[in-house]
Structures are given as C-alpha cells and as structure tokens.
Amino acid sequence: MHKAIFRPMFSYLRYSTIASAIGMLTSYVAAWLMLPAELGRFGVLLSIFFLIGPLVSLSAESLIVLKKTEMPGNEYVEYRRRLLSLLVFSALILTIVLIVAYEANIVSQIWYAALPLLAALRTLSSLTSMEFVVEGESRLYGIFLIIAAGITLAMTFACLIMIGATAQVRLVTLIICEVMVISLRYRGSYGFLIPGVPRFAELREIMAFGGPLVISTIPAWFFNEADKYYIAKRLGLLSAGSYVAACTVAGAMQLFNQALVNSLTPRIYQLLSSVTGAEGIEAVRKELQHILIVGSAILVLLGGVFSLVAFVVGAQLLPQRYAVAVPLMPYALFALVFNGIYRIIAIPIEFFRLTKTKTLMIVLAGGAAFAIYQTGFPVFGAVTAPAGVIAGYGILALSLYIIVSVRIGPLLLARYRSNA
C-alpha cells in the first residue's frame, strides 16, 4: 500500500519541484520589481478572484473528472465541449455585471471585470491537468506544469520591465500566459475548444453538484483569500504587500500539496470502488483512514522543514523592503499545510458527492475565520491573517474527517447495493 502512495507521489514531486522553483523565481521577480503597495493591490485582486472563479466554473471541476472516469472517450469530449459553452456564457455575464458595478461605483476598480476571463481560462487549464492525472499521465502533467511555469516567469519579467511593475500589468500577464499555455496544449486539435450546445439534464446535474459549492464560496473565501483583503483593510496596502511576499515564498508548499492530492486521488477512488461485498467494508475503512493520516503527516513534516528553512534563509530571498515578511513565512507555510490536509480528506467526500455536507462544514469554518479577522488584528497584528486561514482549514479538515469516519460504512454499503 505504501508503494501505491509513494511511487506516484515521487513521480509528481519530480516535476512539481522544478515547477515550484520556477514559480518561486517568478514570485521573487515580482517582489523585486513591484513596490509593496502594488504587490498588496495584486493580492487584493487575487482575493476577489477567488469569489469570481467558482461563479464562472460553477464549481463543477470534480464532477467533470468523475465523468472522465465514467464516459467513453468520444462521449467525454462532447460533454467537455458542452461544458465550455457554460464557461463562456457565465464569464460573459459576470464581466458585464462587473462593468455595470464599476460604472455605478459599487466596485472601485474596472480591472475586476478582467477576472471572469482569467477564471474561465484557469478552469480550462485546471481541467487539462486533472485529465492528465486521471489518465495516469504524470509525465505529460509535469511537462505542462513546467511549461506553464516557464511561460509565466518569462512573461512576468518582460511585462513588468517593459510595461510597468503594477498590479494591473501582472493581472494582464496572467491572462496572456493562460492563453499561451492552452493554445500550446491544443495545438492542432482546436476542435476541443469549440463550445457545444448544453443539454438541460447535464446543466441540472452540474447545478445540483456545484450549486452548494458555489453558495459556499463566500464562507470559504474567509479562510482562503480574505486574509489578504483584511490585512489590506486593517493594516494598509504596504502590510498587505509584505504578507503577500511571505505567502509567495511559502507558495512552494502548494505544489507539494497538489502532488500528494494527485497521487492519492486515483488510489482512493480505486479503493472506494473496490468493495465487492459487505464483508470488505471494514478493510476499506481502515485502509482509507491510514491513507488520510499518512498523507496529513507528510504535509506536516514538510511544513516543519520548510519553516526551518524560511527562518534561516528567508531574509535573503526578498528585497530589504520586505524584511517584515520573514516572521510571517512559517505562519503562511502552515496555512498551506492545513489547506493540503483538507484537500486530502475532501477526496472521499467528493467521491460520494457529499457537497451539501461539505458546504455546511465550510460555513462553520468560514465563521471561525471571520471571527478571528474581526477580533484579532488589534492584538496579534499581521499574524491574524494566516491564523484565520489555519483555523478555517483546521476546523474544516477535522469536521470532514469525523464525517468520513462515521459515514464511510453506510456509504460503501449503499454503493455496493446500488451496483449489485
């Protein structure tokens, strides 16, 4: 069983490590070229982007991956094309809404209107990566991960130098990079990118699956990206820029999170699909529990190692104007550790499509993070921002683990009987 976990994990880690190094270099380029206030402004844009993304994608990515495992190749391609039309439509509607909101002085920046386009492109890129994972194509996944990181590095450096080191320029650069990577991925087969006519039954299924997740976007925002918004609101854009710098250094942890989730998802799906009788349910439950605990322990260990490295060399990784970011790096790292733990525990939750249960727990976690943001800044200062993230993901991971432990038996039994 350990080989089933570690062998694919190391395969993904091999490529993720290279992409992580390139991504960190991109962050350093931005930090060296951008002033803290501009970096803080960019962090706020990304914070709002988190709210826009699920509205564009309808939070249906996991459902689409499940369809990839259930449908023959040609049927899946047509299903995917029909999904693309939904992405185009939702992005267009949200863009119009944000333009009108800007004209009505409801939002402060016209650049918010560019976020739906970026969200649609990111969804398409993410879908491509997830397809590689489902197909077990770790090499193709790694190649495109590295290509995407390399393009982003080159374009970030060129655009910030030649056009200007502003938040707006970096946002446009991200959009251009996504277009370039997608064009490269589908070179010679652009038929995959031609939207199809959506079917009502499929739209209803997507809304039933993703609707609760879209609704949960607001409470989830509090322990995902609201930290940047609140630190900018309470302590100013300069402090927000320093915090974003700390998060960019800590961001390498996210790629390790992704590598572990990518390696565990096929294994957990296979395990939960392998029950052939009521007598095997207990064995599956124990193995699933072992996988979740081992995966979480790996992330905690990595977070501890990275925190020590950050204490030792963190000051050398950023310009002097970001010196105040160094003490925040360990907190930012463990915010991502808890994010990774949650993502591992959420795999069986998504397998059984317990989206309503997940939504309720997200509301609970978001409430805890919101309470910390509202009360913590006067006492703890900038540490309040990552503390809200850690508390939110910690509560979410623990609650979902309890739910999985309690309900795994009945869920597996119901699945076995329905397939019998």
Type of residue at 189: S
Closest CA to 35 of 271, 256, 301, 237: 237
Could you give the dihedral angle defined by the CA atoms of residues 349, 125, 169 and 247, in that order, rounded to the nearest 10 degrees? 40
Q: Could you tell me if 59 and 210 are in contact, meaning their C-beta atoms sit under 8 angstroms apart?
A: yes
Alpha helix (H) residue ranges in 104-215: 115-134, 138-162, 167-185, 200-215
pLDDT digit string (tens) for the chain, length 420 residues: 444 444 555 566 677 778 877 877 887 788 889 999 999 999 999 898 988 988 888 777 767 767 776 777 677 777 777 888 888 888 999 999 999 999 988 887 888 999 999 999 988 887 777 777 676 677 777 888 888 889 999 999 999 999 999 999 999 999 999 999 888 877 766 666 777 777 777 777 777 777 777 777 889 899 988 999 999 989 999 999 999 989 888 887 887 887 788 778 878 888 888 776 666 788 888 889 999 999 999 999 999 998 888 878 877 777 888 888 888 999 999 999 999 999 999 999 988 888 788 889 999 999 999 999 999 999 999 999 999 999 999 999 999 999 998 888 888 887 777 765
Q: What's the pLDDT at 269?
A: 85
Q: What's the pLDDT at 2?
A: 47
Q: Could you tell me if 112 and 94 are in contact, meaning their C-beta atoms sit under 8 angstroms apart?
A: no
Q: What's the pLDDT at 192?
A: 66
Task: Please enumerate in sequence order all residues whose Cβ is within 8 A of that of 84, keeping only pairs 6 or more positions apart, or say none.
Answer: 124, 193, 194, 195, 196
Q: What's the pLDDT at 330?
A: 92
Buried b (16+ CB within 10 A) or exposed e, 310-335: beeebeebbeeebebbbebbbbbbbb
CB atoms within 10 A of CB 185: 19
Pair of tokens at residue 153: 């590095």
How far is it, in rounded angstroms, from Cα 306 to Cα 23?
Answer: 16
Q: What's the pLDDT at 1?
A: 45
Indicate the burial class of 9 (C-beta count within 10 angstroms; 0-12, 13-18, 19 or more). buried
Q: What's the pLDDT at 188?
A: 65
Q: Could you tell me if 393 and 342 are in contact, meaning their C-beta atoms sit under 8 angstroms apart?
A: yes
Q: What angle do CA 108, 109, 112 make, to 5 degrees?
A: 120
Model-wide pTM > 0.85: no
Q: Could you tell me if 167 and 45 are in contact, meaning their C-beta atoms sit under 8 angstroms apart?
A: yes
Q: What angle do CA 384, 376, 333 make, to 5 degrees?
A: 15
Q: Could you tell me if 227 and 385 are in contact, meaning their C-beta atoms sit under 8 angstroms apart?
A: yes
Q: What's the pLDDT at 291?
A: 92
